[in-house]
A and B are shown apart, each in its own frame.
Chain A
Amino acid sequence: MSQLDMSLNQLKILLVEDSFESMNLIRNMLKDLGITQVFTAKDGMEALDLLGIFTEEGEIDLVLCDWNMPRLTGVELLRQVRTCDPDMPFLMITGLADYDSVTEAKSLGVTGYIKKPFSLDELEKKLGLVNRILIHRRKQQFII
């Protein structure tokens, strides 16, 4: 974990969350983990707009997305993201979800779930895992 911790704060995260309080909380948690490069969107449409802006490779490392949102739900956002970027790590924050949606999200290629409520440790652990994937990918690019 320690060598992962070193680069956690380099993560550029797009946080999608419709609840203002939750967003603030998660942002503060991310800050506690040393992650300051957090872009926020209050629903899926806004997130798509932001992703459209940050299309340059490396601009966004990870999407951290709430499940239930107005306008464009987490699953729908995931579907949109996957059409153009099959590898983008996408963590779904779940509170209440039905089986069909979980199945759908899984078939669409959700990278993982974080179950609400989650502790700082849990968040750190999940981000650490994603970071491990990202570090590996960067290495590969470097080798090739």
Chain B
Amino acid sequence: MFEWLQHVRIQTIGNAINAALLITAFVVGLSSTMVFVEARHMSDTWERFDKGAATKAIVLGDLRAALGYGGMIHQISDFILRRDQRRLIDVQKSLRGATIALTRYQSLGTTQRERVALDTVNTAIDEHWARVSLAERLVLDGVAAEDIHLTSGIDDSAALEAFDTLEAELRAARQESGEQVYAATSRVIQLLVISSVIVGTLVAVLLIGFYLFTRVRLTRPLKALGDAMSRLAEGDHDAEIPELDRRDEIGAMARAVRIFRQNAIERRAAEAALQASEERLATILEIAPEAIMAVDAGGVVELFNKGAEAMFGHAAKEIIGQPFDLLIPMRFREIYKRYLRRFGNATTAVRMMDETGDISGLRADGSVFPAQASISKIDRNGEKIFTVIIRDITESTLARKRILDMAKFVNENPSPVLRVTAAGQVLYANPAAREFGALFESADLQVLGASLATTLRQALESGGRGELEFEAESRAFTFTICPVEDETYINLYGSEVTGRKQIQEQLNHAQKMEAVGRLTGGIAHDFNNLLMVISGYARRILSHPDDIEVAGKSLEQILSATEKAASLTKQLLVFSRRQIMEKRVFRVADALGEIKGLLVHSVGESHDVWIEVADKKVCVKTDQSEFSQAIMNLAVNARDAMPEGGEITIGARIEEVTEAATWLHGKIGPGRYVRISVTDRGTGIEEDTMAHLFEPFFTTKEQGKGTGLGLAMVYGFVEQSGGTIDVATELGVGTTFHIYLPVVEQAPEVAAAAQVALEHRGKGETILLVEDDDRLLELTHEVLCDLGYTVFVAGNGLEALELDENLDRSIDLLLSDVVMPSLGGFELYKILLEKRPELKAVFISGYPTRGTGSVEIPESTPFLSKPVSPEELAREIRDELDRSGSPHSGRGERMLSNVSA
């Protein structure tokens, strides 16, 4: 029923008690004041009684004693009778005493009745004084005593009555005082009782309240908390903490106990975790494959795990407590001890004992093994403990030695071995390769770089092997490219092929000489024929000087012969334009058409040459002059197979090579190919010969007739062109060589300079050609050469300036691209004009207008917009060169509308 008390704060209770105590103090104070007032009242009453009635009673007694009525009369009588003076004095004394008492009585305050009674008494005293005086006089006068009758007839009743009245008054006054004192006493008692009751009640209520409060609010929860704390202290963390959701001190204490329990639970969990961790660590320590041991500062072993037991062959109990010297070969003991001392004094906490792994351990059986040790130190109560982790590196030492041996093996390889990234960064190079690198450094980087970057990237993408050739300082190398699977690098295994290369070049040269010889023979014959015609008809004119008709016919024949001779030289020029494998797109039909005349001359008149091209537009991308020579070589072979003469058929047709058919054709992949077939009706090729057919210097021809290089060249050309070659032959029936070249779907690139009209051709003038696009530069260069100009080329403005500096001869015309970074064509022209005021110029631009960027080409300056046809180019150059005077002299600066400033 007092549960509500649980929600009363202790402070509230304290306030209530304080209030009750105040009320109690007030009640006690009030009742004390009232008691004090009553006591004063009683005291006053008593004082009044004491000073009034009580004194009066004494005075009245004195008065009664003084008067003593019967006595007084008796005294007077005695005096009269005996004449004793003393009696008289006694009477007078008594009467004076009575008067004094009377006066005193009167001074004490009197009531009306008292005053009346006192007057009566006073009268009696006066009567006595009168009698005494009379008696004295009578006595003095000697009146006989019997004659003196003074005492008779005295009436004392009034006085006696007055005395009774006074006594009655005194009694009344005493009673009144007594009653007042009694009433005050009663009130005091009443007050005391009431205040006692009130105070008692308050105290009782307070005591009961305090008891209940302490029991409900303090004792019970404190006991519960105390119990909980005891259980917590005993380790019972599940102990129920009373739900004291109170805002007072007990509530705070309950919360503190709850936090304490939470902390205790957490601590227990942490302790459990710590214990588990310690156990785990102990387990790890035990199962670690490394030897782990602890050594104190004196070198005595304190810990020796299972790994250490296995490694050293000692049981832990044998070693623990022993100096660690036991585990170290004799000769190292002093060194290691010194090391430990030094490390102990050093500031580092962890250190590898020997980075090279050359420390040694001693097994129980006396054997020594190489090991790696890392050592750490801890400070335990001022004493240093060293933890040593030892790894047996016998295996890795052996492995390292093996690896070093293997590495030496590659290092000792006299051929270069490289490992490179696709970007060309060298990851590893053996000494031979480094030597090669020194060569490489001084080689023509651009050409090398091109083949390297492209080939490496392709190899890495395809994952297939490839070959790479390098030439540097007259040395040649072949590298086998081996992309490493799942890696981003490529291994290059090289070998020097300088010797082989030289032989190859000699072969090529010899082959060329042979071809030249063959050609010379054929052409000399043709030319002789033509010369014969010319000289013959010329002589005829001379011998018939007057015959116009003969002269006319003869001159026609001569003209015809010279035209044939011109055509012959043209073909010869086309064939002789020998360069390094210059791949470009051309039509097979055109190429065959160009060499047809040459073929006819080469094979001789006893053989017919038929050229059949199925698709006149089909294009291939390879070196056209090599193509021509290959066809020539095959044709010559065909002729040689038919010594008696016969038909040689050269055919070209498109063939789709499927995946399944690629094996038939050797190295080529599936795709569209143009098949060029050279067929003869000759003797056929014997089986023995077939095996060596494409080998250099292999020939079946008579001594002096063949070099054995023709088919080797054909084979090399076809391979380099990404094609293949195969042979179909039957003894006595004939042979067909099939060349497969990949078809390209591009337009032919060859500039048809030959078609340019004669009047637009060059007359040996010098042109400085500047173009930053390599491909265009090459093409334009060729066109200009074909047109009959002497051409100097520059890849950019600075190269042009360089050429200008180094060139002693005059330059007639600058043919330049307009837009080139760093130094544009027009600006270049202006600079060149300073030194060569006669220089003319033609500009070519990729932009259709004369104004590009900050430069505008003046209207008077020849300007061509790309694409430019050879005819257009030839005409423009010719026109500009033929223009009289210096077209730009004196107006260069004015025409310049450079707005860059």
Interface residues of A (CB under 8 A from B): 1, 82, 86-90, 94-102, 106-112, 125-126, 128-130, 132-133, 136-137, 140-141, 143-144
Return chain B residues, CB-CB under 8 Å to A87: 822-823, 900
Pull 15 A–B residue pairs with CB atoms less than 8 Å apart, ordered by A: A89-B822, A98-B423, A98-B424, A99-B446, A100-B450, A102-B446, A106-B795, A109-B820, A126-B802, A128-B805, A132-B831, A133-B797, A136-B827, A136-B830, A144-B898
Q: By the criterion CB–CB under 8 Å, are B822 and A98 in contact? A: no
Looking at the assembled complex, report how far the CB atom of B581 sits from the nearest CB atom of chain A, in whole angstroms: 16
Q: State how many angstroms separate the Cβ of B196 from the closest Cβ of chain A.
A: 104
Judging by beta carbons under 8 Å apart, are B797 and A144 in contact? no
Does B798 make an interface contact (CB < 8 A)?
yes
Q: Which one, B453, B821, B900, contacts A100 given CB within 8 A?
A: B453
CA distance A107 to B453 in the complex (A): 18
A133 to B797, CA, bound (A): 9
* Also in contact, A108 and B821, with CB within 8 A (given A97-B445, A98-B424): yes
- Chain B, residue nearest A140 (CB): B898
Docked pose: A98 CA to B450 CA in angstroms? 6
Chain A residues whose CB sits within 8 angstroms of the CB of B440 once the complex forms: 96
* A99 to B: closest C-beta gap in Å: 3
The closest CB in chain A to the CB of B423 belongs to: A98
Hey, which chain B residues are within 8 Å of A101, CB to CB? 449
Within 8 A of A (CB), among B426-483: 440-441, 445-454
B532 to chain A, nearest CB (A): 54
User: A141 to nearest B CB, angstroms?
Assistant: 5
0/1 interface trace, chain B 586-621, chain A, CB 8 Å (1 if under): 000000000000000000000000000000000000
* Contacting residues, chain A, for B900 (C-beta < 8 A): 87
Closest B residue to A89 using CB positions: B822
Cα distance A74–B493 when bound, in Å?
A: 31
Report which of A82, A94, A126, A137 forms a contact with B821, defined as CB distance below 8 A: A82
Q: Nearest B residue to A90 by beta-carbon distance?
A: B822
In the complex, the answer to whether B896 meets A140 with C-beta atoms within 8 Å is yes
> Are A111 and B796 within 8 A (Cβ)?
yes
Does B548 touch A at the CB level, under 8 Å? no
A110 contacts B450, CB within 8 Å? no
B801 part of interface (Cβ distance < 8 Å): yes
B831 and A133 contacting across the interface, CB-CB below 8 Å = yes
Complex: A8 Cα to B184 Cα, angstroms: 140
Chain A residues with Cβ below 8 Å from B441 are 95-96
Report yes or no: B452 in contact with A99, Cβ–Cβ below 8 A: yes
Cβ of A96 and Cβ of B822 under 8 Å apart? no
B831–A136 CB distance below 8 A? yes
Q: Are B802 and A129 in contact (CB under 8 A)?
A: yes
> Which of B452, B801, B896 has its CB near the most chain A CB atoms (within 10 A)?
B801
Q: Other CB < 8 Å A-B pairs besides A125-B802, A129-B801, 12 of them? A: A87-B822, A97-B449, A98-B452, A99-B452, A106-B772, A108-B821, A110-B822, A112-B798, A132-B801, A133-B823, A133-B827, A141-B901
CA distance A101 to B821 in the complex (A): 16
CB neighbours (8 Å) of B798 from chain A are 111-112, 126, 129-130, 133
Tell me how far the C-beta of B891 lies from the nearest C-beta in chain A, rounded to whole angstroms. 13
* B546 contacts partner chain A, Cβ-Cβ < 8 Å: no
Q: How far apart sit A126 and B802, CA to CA, in the bound complex (Å)?
A: 8
Contacts of B821 in A (CB 8 A): 82, 86, 108-110
* Residues of chain A with a CB closer than 8 A to B164's CB: none
The 5 closest A-B pairs by CB, nearest first: A109-B821, A99-B450, A98-B449, A99-B449, A112-B798
Q: What distance in Å separates the Cβ of B465 from its nearest Cβ neighbour in chain A?
A: 21
Chain A residue at minimal CB-CB distance from B451? A99
B901 & A144 in contact (Cβ 8 Å cutoff): yes
Distance in angstroms between the alpha carbons of A116 and B452 in the assembled complex: 20
In the docked arrangement, what's the CA distance between A90 and B822, Å?
A: 8
- Chain B's nearest CB lies how many Å from the CB of A57? 10
Bound state CA distance, A68 and B423, in angstroms? Answer: 13
Give the distance in Å from the alpha carbon of A111 to the alpha carbon of B794 in the complex.
12
Residues of A within 8 A of B901 (CB): 140-141, 144
- Is B686 engaged at the interface, CB distance under 8 Å to the other chain? no
Interface string of B816-831 (1 = CB under 8 A from A): 0000111100010011
What residues on B are CB-neighbors of A128 within 8 Å? 805
In the docked arrangement, what's the CA distance between A107 and B774, Å? 11
CA distance A35 to B454 in the complex (A): 41
> Which of A94, A107, A129 gathers the greatest number of chain B CB atoms within 10 Å?
A129
Do A99 and B453 form a contact, CB below 8 Å, given A109-B820, A110-B822? yes
Q: Is the CB of B445 within 8 A of A96?
A: yes
A72–B448 CA distance with the chains assembled, in angstroms: 24
Check if A111 sits within 8 Å of B823, measured CB to CB.
yes
Q: Is B882 an interface residue (CB 8 A)?
A: no
Least distance between B324 CB and chain A CB atoms (Å): 50
User: Which of the residues A86, A88, A96, A106 comes within 8 Å of B796, measured between beta carbons?
Assistant: A106
Contacts of A141 in B (CB 8 A): 901
Q: Does B395 belong to the interface (CB within 8 Å)?
A: no
CA distance A106 to B451 in the complex (A): 18
**Which B residues, 747 to 781, have Cβ-Cβ distances below 8 Å to chain A?**
772
Q: Is B702 an interface residue (CB 8 A)?
A: no
- Chain B residues whose C-beta falls within 8 Å of the C-beta of A100 in the assembled complex: 449-450, 453
Answer whether residue B799 sits at the interface, using C-beta atoms and an 8 A cutoff: yes
Give the residues in chain B near A88, CB-CB below 8 Å: 822
B834 located at the interface, meaning its Cβ lies under 8 Å from any Cβ of chain A in the complex? yes
Q: How far is the CB of B828 from chain A (nearest CB, A)?
A: 8
Task: List the B side residues contacting A111 at CB < 8 Å.
Answer: 796-798, 822-823
Return chain A residues, CB-CB under 8 Å to B453: 98-100
Does B318 count as interface, using CB distance less than 8 angstroms?
A: no
B234 CB within 8 Å of chain A? no
Docked complex Cα distance between A144 and B894 (Å): 10
